[in-house]
């Protein structure tokens, strides 16, 4: 296996512009990961992620995200989804907010 055992997106042998781009992106990203790295070497930094999404939710994004103002509802959805994935509950006051 020349890819260090990395998992790739499924391939249904029906290439589309999106699947071709996905495969290309995966190859580019894989070239930046050392071959001898295993999945066990990756660790979810739960506290760091939680702090980032909490800060984004309650203080807003940094000013460099100003171009994303129109996407705030979408960003809010993904922040809330991130809380869910990390199994972080919101207190009733913040839920109402």
Compute φ and ψ for 42, nearest 5 degrees. Answer: -95, 130
Model confidence at 81: pLDDT above 90? yes
What per-residue confidence (pLDDT) applies to 5?
Answer: 55
pLDDT at residue number 50 = 93
Q: Does the predicted TM-score (pTM) go above 0.95?
A: no
Q: Is 82 in contact with 53 (CB distance < 8 Å)?
A: yes
- Token pair of 90 as six digits: 């919101």
* Of the candidate ranges 1-5, 18-22, 35-39, 87-91, the one whose mean pLDDT is the lowest: 1-5
Would you give the end-to-end CA distance of the chain in angstroms?
51
Other Cβ atoms within 10 Å of 57 Cβ, number: 18
């Amino acid at each position: 296996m020349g890819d260090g055992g990395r998992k790739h997106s499924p391939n249904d042998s029906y290439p589309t512009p999106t699947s071709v781009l996905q495969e290309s992106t995966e190859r580019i990203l894989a070239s930046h990961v050392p071959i001898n790295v295993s999945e066990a070497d990756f660790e979810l930094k739960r506290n760091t992620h939680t702090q980032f999404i909490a800060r984004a939710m309650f203080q807003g994004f940094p000013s460099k995200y100003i171009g994303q103002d129109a996407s705030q509802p979408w960003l809010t959805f993904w922040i809330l989804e991130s809380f869910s994935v990390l199994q972080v509950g919101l207190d009733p006051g913040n839920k109402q907010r």
